[in-house]
Each structure stands twice: as C-alpha cells, then as structure tokens.
C-alpha cells in the first residue's frame, strides 16, 4: 500500500456525540483544527515548510483536487490550522492569519476601504494603527474622524451614512477602558458601516466581539494567542463576504505568516484558555492589592473606572484582562526608578507572554504622540503598564512592593 492510500484509510473524525457544554474555549483551542486524516494520523500537525505545492497537470483538475494549495503566499495548511483555531474560538465564518498584527490591520483596512471613504476611529487605538490611520491611509484619500473617550459613549451621534468603517479597541491600551461593543455594532449596522474590533488584549477567552454583533475581529497574535513572546503574527475573523475581500488584498499585500511561525502559534494556542484565565485572575488580584500600596496613585483595570463601566464589563466580557496599568506618585522619574529596581519582571514592550512584562507607554507604545496628546487621552508620563505572566502572583506583588519602596 502506498503512503497516500494509507492516509486515505484514516476516516475524518467529526464530533457527533459531544454535548455543546463540552466544547468550551479550552476544548476548542485543542481540537478545532485537528485533521489527522490529512496528516498521516499525526496528533500534532506537521509544519508544511514549503513555498509551493505540486500543481495539477491540467488546469481543469484544479477545482476537483482535494488539496487546493498552490503557493504559501495564498494558503498553506500550517497557516490554515492556526486560522481555524482562532475562527472557532471567535465563532466566526472565516479567518486568516498574517505575518503580524499590523499586517492584519493594514490588510483589513486596505482591502475594505476606497479613496473618499470615511473611517471613525477611537483616538486611543494601538500606536501602529493610529499611525496607519493618521499618516499613511490619508495619502490614499481615506478620511479619518477621531473619537474621544467621552464621545465614544454615544456612537449613534457619530456614525453617519457617510461612515464606511468604525475601528475600535476594547479594553483599550494602556488604560483598559471598556467600550460598549454591542451598541457600536448596532449603530454601525444602522448606517451600513463595517465594525472592526482589535481584541488583542481581551483574547477570545475574555471577550467574543462577533457574538456582540461586531463584523470583524482582529488580533495581534504576537501577544496572548502566541503567548510565549517568541513570534510575530496577526489574525482576522469575520463573515465570508468580508473575508473574501480581505483575502484578495492579502494575496497582493503579502503579509504572510511563515509556516514555522504558524506552527508555533498553533502550539501556543493549545494553552490559551488556562494561560489567559490564570493571568486574568492574577491581574485582578494584583489590581486590588496595588490600590492599597502607598506609592501608587491610581490603578487601571477593566470595569474599575466607574460603576457603569463595571456593569458594562460584566455584561460584555467573559473575563477581564491579564494587563493592568498604574500611575505612581512622583511621575516619570519615579516610574523610571521603579522599572530599574524590578528584579523579576522584565522591562520590555509587548504583552501576553508567559513571563510578566512591564513598560512605560509614554516611552514605548505611545511614544509617537506628543506629551499633550498623551495627556489629553489620560496617559500620564508616569503611567506603568504591567502584563501579568504565569508567575505566582505573590512573587509579582513582592517584586512590585520592593521596587516601589525604594523608588
């Protein structure tokens, strides 16, 4: 028997008898992409480290082959395995993975917008997205209207029939403010605008925007989805009609996830649910402990800004966040001293890794804004962002206390 006949003997498996309750996110992230029948029975899918695929002898055969792969810039099974896991976790129709989170954001915007279109965007978006929308896309005739935190409470007053797309983040970075996604989704729907949420901080463990009516969810998979600070990747999930347009742009723009990085992403996502659940639990505990420390002025965590925000976070989120932020008495000099004295927590940009990371948004993610622009968004110079890792939370608290004491 040739190897290919052997592979065909393994029947495709379908879940026939498992009840819906057995298919929570932990189960989904382990089993959604399994295709042993395609991979010689392998429990861990192989890395398809190839740029190109055997092309059928005649073009007419293309439509009828079981393996429609042509070239890795278009599709590759290792990319598809990672995309399928994210699709299933978010509950969308289709998904694609990209070479970075910015690749996912840029491809989505370029794929869906045309010259003359108007975008509504929160003025607290991730720095890269802010740059794309404020500097690059306007050169191609795309107009952006910026929405402040206060204005964002009433999206119906902002979205008009001229709005093509709204771009949101919730919880926001670095202040962890929560926006009402269901309300934004229905306001956008009423005007025929596409709603997009960057859900990198929440992950599908803490929030599922598509289930709230949002059209597209984008991720920097470099953060929690990968989860080990060892890869750069992005993802987009949404309805097939929109994903086909994003695919067309993706093939031309070429923000491709290398098959090995796609494998690492799939491997990282096997533990997404326990990681994010544990990190969110530790972060919530640390947020309340930090509020009691004398050197700390204010703690930012989803739902803590006001009772209304707590009610909203409770309604729309499944959990909260593994990221928190706090300001120290003494501003930037105190924050710099604090970072220098941390012994356990790495001082580094990014978040979502297994190890805790700390950074000053004014000097990293929001360094592209002027001090006045940061201040108008509530991002003080001494604000510290902490991505809580998988260490014992008591160890993290001890490190924060010793660094703060000597600050």
Ligand X SMILES: *Cc1c(COP(=O)(O)O)cnc(C)c1O
What value, to the nearest 5°, has the Cα angle with vertex 228 and ends 257 and 346?
125
CB of 171 to ligand X, least distance (A): 10
Name every residue whose Cβ is closer than 8 Å to that of residue 294 and which is 6 or more positions away in sequence. Answer: none
| Backbone angles phi and psi of 81, in degrees to 5 | -65, -45
| Enclosing H/E stretch for 375 | helix 371-376
CB of 64 to ligand X, least distance (A): 37
Report yes or no: 139 and 368 within 8 Å, Cβ to Cβ: no
Site track 165-204 with ligand X (rule: CB under 6 A), x = hit: ----x---x------------------------x-x----
State the Cα–Cα distance between residues 77 and 285, nearest whole angstrom.
Answer: 40
402: exposed, middle or buried (Cβ count in 10 Å: 0-12, 13-18, 19+): middle
Instruction: Assess whether 198 carries a catalytic annotation.
Output: yes
Instruction: Assess whether 304 carries a catalytic annotation.
Output: no
Judged by DSSP in three states, 244 sits in helix
Residues in 95-114 at the binding interface with ligand X, rule: CB under 6 A:
100-102
Residue closest to 356 by CA, chosen among 347, 368, 369, 366? 347
CB of 170 to ligand X, least distance (A): 10
Residue closest to 396 by CA, chosen among 359, 361, 356? 356
Residues in 222-251 at the binding interface with ligand X, rule: CB under 6 A:
222-223, 232, 234
CB of 220 to ligand X, least distance (A): 3
Neighbours of 34 (CB within 10 A): 18
Report yes or no: 259 and 231 within 8 Å, Cβ to Cβ: no
Given the residues 34, 38, 223, 385, the one annotated as active site: 223
Among 206, 220, 282, 356, binds ligand X (CB under 6 A): 220
Told to check if 295 binds ligand X by CB under 6 A, we report no
Looking at beta carbons, which residue is closest to ligand X? 101
Instruction: Assess whether 247 carries a catalytic annotation.
Output: no
Among 128, 131, 239, 378, binds ligand X (CB under 6 A): 128
Instruction: Assess whether 73 carries a catalytic annotation.
Output: yes
Given the residues 23, 35, 73, 281, the one annotated as active site: 73
Count how many Cα atoms sit within 13 Å of the Cα of residue 40 in the half-sphere of its side chain.
5
Pairing of strands 94-98, 118-122: unpaired
State the Cα–Cα distance between residues 175 and 206, nearest whole angstrom.
Answer: 17
CB of 100 to ligand X, least distance (A): 3
Interface with ligand X (CB under 6 A), residue total: 15
Complex with ligand X: residue 169 or 399, whichever CB lies closer: 169
**Which residues are known catalytic residues?**
73, 126, 198, 223
| Binding stretches for ligand X (CB under 6 A) | 100-102, 126, 128-129, 169, 173, 198, 200, 220, 222-223, 232, 234
């Amino acid at each position: 028997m040739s190897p290919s006949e052997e592979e065909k003997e393994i029947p495709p498996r379908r879940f026939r008898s498992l009840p819906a309750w057995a298919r929570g996110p932990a189960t989904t992230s382990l089993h959604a992409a399994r295709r042993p029948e395609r991979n010689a029975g392998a429990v861990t899918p192989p890395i398809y480290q190839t740029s190109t695929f055997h092309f059928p002898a005649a073009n007419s055969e293309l439509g009828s082959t079981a393996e429609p792969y042509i070239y890795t810039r278009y599709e590759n099974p290792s990319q598809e395995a990672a995309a399928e896991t994210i699709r299933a976790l978010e509950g969308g129709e289709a998904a694609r993975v990209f070479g970075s989170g910015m690749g996912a954001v840029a491809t989505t915007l370029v794929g869906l917008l045309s010259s003359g279109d108007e975008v509504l965007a929160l003025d607290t978006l991730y720095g890269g997205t802010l740059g794309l929308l404020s500097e690059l896309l306007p050169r191609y005739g795309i107009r952006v209207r910026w929405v402040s935190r206060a204005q964002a409470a009433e999206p119906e007053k902002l979205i008009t029939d001229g709005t093509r797309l709204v771009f949101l983040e919730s919880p926001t970075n670095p202040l962890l403010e929560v926006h009402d996604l269901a309300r934004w989704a229905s306001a956008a729907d009423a005007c025929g605008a596409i709603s997009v949420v960057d859900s990198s901080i929440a992950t599908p463990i803490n929030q599922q925007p598509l289930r709230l009516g949002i059209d597209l969810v984008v991720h920097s998979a470099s953060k929690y989805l990968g989860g080990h600070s060892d890869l750069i990747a992005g993802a987009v999930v949404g309805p097939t009609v929109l994903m086909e347009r994003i695919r067309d742009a993706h093939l031309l723009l070429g923000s491709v996830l290398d098959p090995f990085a796609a494998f690492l992403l799939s491997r990282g996502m096997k533990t997404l649910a326990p990681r994010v659940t544990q990190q969110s639990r530790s972060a919530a505990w640390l947020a309340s402990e930090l509020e009691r420390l004398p050197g700390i002025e204010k703690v930012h965590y989803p739902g803590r800004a006001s009772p209304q925000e707590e009610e909203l976070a409770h309604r729309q989120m499944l959990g909260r966040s593994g990221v928190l932020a706090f300001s120290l008495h003494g501003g930037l000099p105190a924050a710099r001293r604090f970072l220098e004295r941390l012994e356990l927590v790495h001082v580094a940009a990014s978040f979502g890794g297994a190890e805790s990371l700390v950074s000053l948004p004014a000097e990293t993610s929001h360094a592209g804004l002027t001090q006045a622009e940061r201040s108008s968004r509530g991002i003080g110079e001494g604000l510290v962002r902490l991505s809580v890792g998988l260490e014992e939370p008591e160890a993290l608290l001890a490190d924060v206390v010793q660094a703060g004491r000597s600050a």
